[in-house]
Amino acid sequence: MELLTPSIGNIFWTAVVFLLLVLLLKAFAWKPILSAVKEREDNIQNALNQAKLAKKEMEDLKADNERIMREAKIERDAILKEAREIKDRIVAEAKDAAKSEGDKLIEAAKQTINAEKNAAMADIKSQIGTLSVNIAESILKQKLENNEAQNELVQNYLNKSNLN
């Protein structure tokens, strides 16, 4: 039971050894341990600050990216609108040119048709004239086969000429 009851000397030497241990730990171990803990705490704080900075930079980049996308969409829409206007203008010009060219072709065709019609009419008149002369000549030859009919025709013709 003596082991369980502490003696004063035992308590004294245990306290002295404990104090020496505390002083030695304070002198050699606590400063490096505390400085290591402080350094680690500073490193963690720096890492957190850098993470906050990186997060802010990412948000700024995201905002810039969205702004650039909006501007690009606006520019794309403007370019598409301009392209549509140019296309519409070119199509309208092409339609006008085609209509004008078509009108010219139609007018030229009408003139050609009229010229050919006039030429055909002149040819028909000429042929009718020739045919009429041939028919009249044939009729006259048949009627004027004898002298008496010839004299009567000449007399008729002279009488008509005198009346005019």
The fraction of the chain above a pLDDT of 90, given in percent, is 57
3-class secondary structure, 164: coil
26: exposed, middle or buried (Cβ count in 10 Å: 0-12, 13-18, 19+): exposed
39-92: pLDDT as tens digits:
999 999 999 999 999 999 999 999 999 999 999 999 999 999 999 999 999 999
First to last CA, the chain: 189
The fraction of the chain above a pLDDT of 70, given in percent, is 93
**pTM metric for this prediction:** 0.41
**What is the per-residue DSSP string for 52-118?**
HHHHHHHHHHHHHHHHHHHHHHHHHHHHHHHHHHHHHHHHHHHHHHHHHHHHHHHHHHHHHHHHHHH
Q: Are 150 and 144 in contact (CB under 8 A)?
A: yes
Q: Are 143 and 153 in contact (CB under 8 A)?
A: yes
What per-residue confidence (pLDDT) applies to 3?
Answer: 61
What per-residue confidence (pLDDT) applies to 137?
Answer: 75
pLDDT-derived band of residue 2, with 50, 70 and 90 as boundaries? low
Eight-class DSSP state of 30: I
Distance CA 81, CA 68 (A): 20
Mean pLDDT within 18-40: 88
Q: How far is CA 102 from CA 83, 88, 99, 107, 111, in A?
A: 28, 20, 5, 8, 14
Average pLDDT taken over every residue of the chain: 87
Neighbours of 45 (CB within 10 A): 10
